[in-house]
Amino acid sequence: MKPTYRAMQVGTPGTLELVQRPTPEPGAGEVLIAVEACGMCGADAADIEGADPALQPPRVPGHEVVGRIAALGAGVPARWRVGQRVGVGRLGGHCNECDACRQGQFQLCRNQPFVGASCDGGYAEAMIARHTGLVSIPDELQAEEAAPILCAGLATFNALKKCGAEAGDLVAILGIGGLGHMALQYARRMGFRVAAIGRGPDIAGDALALGAHVYIDTRQEDAAEALKRLGGAMAIVTMLGDATAIAAALPGLAPQGRLVLLGGGKEPLPLPMGLLVSGERSVLGSITGSPYENEKTLNFSVLSGARPWIETLPLARANEAYRRMRSGEVKFRMVLTMGSPD
């Protein structure tokens, strides 16, 4: 690689600035990645707007990173080689030492960095990554379409695997955005009967095109009652952080149905204990997943034809891309590309 690389760092909270940085050397157990594309996730907002202005150098956000290995540090296993296509998601690489790692629960490791938050991420032409956080990228996927799968895809794919529903069951996807649009595709391809729940008629056509069998507009009807008319959902998978909206849909769960939470809202979620007990219903939180699970998600996407709907902008226009992402105008995922200087 060149001796310097371009990066978009958080100069002041809420603002990205384009800088040149010296190209680093990977340390023990690390690789240097020449980044080709990086998706923009809603979780990036906290990293960008809540950044510590005293941090030096300022943080580079982004955790849906795809590129090629440019250099290897000492002790990196032979499975990783220079020139190999790799990706990195939100979880930056487990420690292999803590209790969670010893149990094989690598996604729950408490000693791993959060990419773009506690270590630099992929809004840049290069980044350092732990080898334990690396994900192999299939040749069938372009860098731009693989990037969102490393977070939005993985999170929803794993949530659907944990939801307890079987093929033919009704599964509701609550929140049709960057994550929800992947959840609809995966749910349809897993054999579920899919209900999309959103606000307003403008998203209905997209929801049906993405795989929903039915669209429920919460501005026109009660989501829980609509699900009951369909026989009740064996699972509601929600990306929302809006506790009120989630609670309103909860009575639409069928007996032994499961609510799966992906959103990280700060509001307490009101749970009617009688509803849970009388119908043996349950609530489950789901984090993204391990690199191995990420590779399964990518492979399923290749086999099933599931792809993110994306818009792309070059790295230098990251502020514009970020504003579009925050405005909700993007359908459905914004991706930064590193190939063009402007």
Domains along the chain with CATH numbers: 4-137+309-337 (3.90.180.10), 153-285 (3.40.50.720)
Distance CA 74, CA 69 (A): 14
pLDDT at 340 over 80: no
End-to-end Cα spacing for the chain: 20
Distance CA 329, CA 332 (A): 8
pLDDT at 332 over 60: yes
Q: What is the percent of the chain with per-residue pLDDT over 70, rounded to a whole number?
A: 99
- Span 140-192, pLDDT tens digits: 999 999 999 999 999 999 999 999 999 999 999 999 999 999 999 999 999 99
- Span 100-139, pLDDT tens digits: 999 999 999 999 999 999 999 999 999 999 999 999 999 9
Q: Which of 48, 38, 63 is nearest to 17 (CA)?
A: 48
Q: What is the dihedral of CA 338, 340, 341, 342, to 10 degrees?
A: -110
In the chain the beta strands, taken as DSSP E runs, fall at 4-12, 15-22, 30-40, 64-72, 85-88, 126-130, 135-136, 170-174, 193-198, 214-217, 233-238, 253-261, 282-285, 310-314, 333-337
Q: Which residues of 104-125 are buried (b: 16+ CB within 10 A; e: fewer)?
A: eebbbbeebbebbbebbbbbbb
Distance CA 14, CA 47 (A): 9
